[in-house]
Amino acid sequence: MASKTKFQAIRGTRDLLPPETALWNRVEQTAHEVFATYGFGEIRPPIFEPTELFARAVGGETDIVSKEMYTFQNPTGLAPMVHEKEMVGTLAEMSPESEMISLRPEATASVCRAYIEHNMQQLPQPVKLYYMGPMFRRERPQKGRYRQFYQIGAEILGGPDAPAIDAELIEMLMTFFDKCGLQGTELSVNSIGHAADNCRRGYVALLKAELEKVKDKLGADSQRRIETNPLRVLDSKLEYEQPIIATLPRIADHLCDECKTHYAAVKHELEQRGVIYRENWRLVRGLDYYMRTTFEITAQGLGSQNAVCGGGRYDGLVELLGGPPTKGIGFAIGEDRLILSLQESGKGAAPQGRDVYIAWMGERAYATAIRAAKDLRNAGFRVELPPTELKFGKALERASKLGSRFALILGDNEVADGQWTLKTLADGSQQKLTEQALLEYLLKP
């Protein structure tokens, strides 16, 4: 007997439906267009990869890898065809050497893997790639935070050590947000130097010493981070920790000369490009290979999940994954949040109505209606042709419910004398037109 289970989308996942999907398409189309003008090509990496890739690239200690990934065993060989009931058995039979794989929680690791796998260091450098698609993280679902969410991201791999690369990437990002119509964007930038004693390592040691002094006034999370990752204390959103954090030493005062010069040049280039930014010395990344430029963009209407994009430079990552020493910088936009913000500020998609609803009655009229529908669709109009005959009154009712602009009324009379009736639904006015005149009328802007 058929089960009565009422299925629902899994917690933290959701269906994207029309008309909202039209907005998603517009945003993605804008990304394709803007990124292409900056010389980027699209990469579509797989949705799952070896768990080890993420563990290495994102870091085994991070929340993402230690508790948020969807990880499972990849059965080796081909799974035998089994009846549903027997499936449990095949899971148990999986060989122990089958590898662990994970749904991707982000895509930078995959892009770097692909760069190495396809020897892209032999292409003209730098290589500029972008991607878009779903990511998976087992987080607590809330507004702007899902377990399947979407990112649009870009990476620049290889090439010289030039601050212009950082600045142009950020310029492209802000151009994209601007073309999307995103409101209230704020770009924050920082430099976190590089992992050397005369640069970030020295700073972190100093920070740690200062944090030890105020340890008692900090919360449990921050206390733990003094040991595991002192930089992350700067991330804290806890109200009572803010005045303490404000007195801590700042990384900008402890950068080595090269990183200081690089940071100054990035800011200068942003100004030359008319990109408005503010500096946020607390914008950090907890991983060793992140270096120099980090940035984040927030937008309005998102509550506490207001970061729509995070990015930064990661010169050591490709090498960490077994490739040649390669420079790298990239960003990831949270598409769900971008869309939410656009909707909140009234920049959502217009409801998708029909241009023409064909109200037909009679067999001869139906034949003409089929042809007319085809011709109008060929000309690019959105046309609704009812699949069954409806009385004109009923048909017109449907036409307005669907948000149609026009109803084309085709009865046997209209077909016989070649004068079709076009009704404008907004004001109810009607006119008689030949087929040719009708098309011309509709095509008029």
Q: Determine the Cα–Cα distance for residues 124 and 169; give it in Å rounded to an integer.
A: 18
Q: How far is CA 157 from the centre of its chain?
A: 20
Which of 149, 289, 357, 366 forms a contact with ligand ATP (CB under 6 A)? 149
Under the binding rule (CB under 6 A), the answer on residue 310 touching ligand ATP is yes
292 forms part of the interface with ligand ATP (CB under 6 A): no
Strands 186-191 and 291-298 turn out to be antiparallel
Q: Which is nearer to ligand ATP, 230 or 310 (CB)?
A: 310
Residue 42's H or E segment, with its range, is strand 41-42
* Residue selected from 309, 321, 339, 409 as contacting ligand ATP according to rule CB under 6 A: 309
307 binds ligand ATP, rule: CB under 6 A:
yes
**Is residue 298 a contact partner of residue 306, using CB atoms and an 8 Å limit?**
yes
CB of 190 to ligand ATP, least distance (A): 14
Taking the least distance from each CB to ligand ATP, the nearer of 316 and 415 is 316
433 binds ligand ATP (CB under 6 A): no
x/- contact string, 99-128, with ligand ATP (CB under 6 A)? -------x----------------------
Among 185, 200, 334, 410, binds ligand ATP (CB under 6 A): 334
151 binding ligand ATP? (CB under 6 A) = yes
Single-letter amino acid, residue 415? V
DSSP string, 91-141: HHT--TTSPEEEE-S-SHHHHHHHHHHTTGGGSSSSEEEEEEEEEE-----
User: Which two tokens mark 101?
Assistant: 């794989």
Helix (H, G, I), strand (E, B) or coil at 59: helix
337 binds ligand ATP (CB under 6 A): yes
For residue 25, give every residue at least 6 positions away whose Cβ sits within 8 Å of its Cβ, in sequence order, or none: none
Is the Cα torsion angle 229, 235, 236, 239 positive or negative in sign? positive
Closest CA to 180 of 393, 6, 37, 31: 31
Stretch that binds ligand ATP, among 16-24, 86-94, 116-124, 138-146 (CB under 6 A): 138-146
Question: Which window, 137-145, 188-196, 315-323, 352-360, contacts ligand ATP (CB under 6 A)?
Answer: 137-145
* Number of chain residues interacting with ligand ATP (CB under 6 A): 17
C-beta closer to ligand ATP: residue 54 or 406: 54
Query: What are the residues binding ligand ATP (CB under 6 A)?
Result: 106, 137, 139, 144-146, 149, 151, 305, 307-310, 332, 334, 336-337
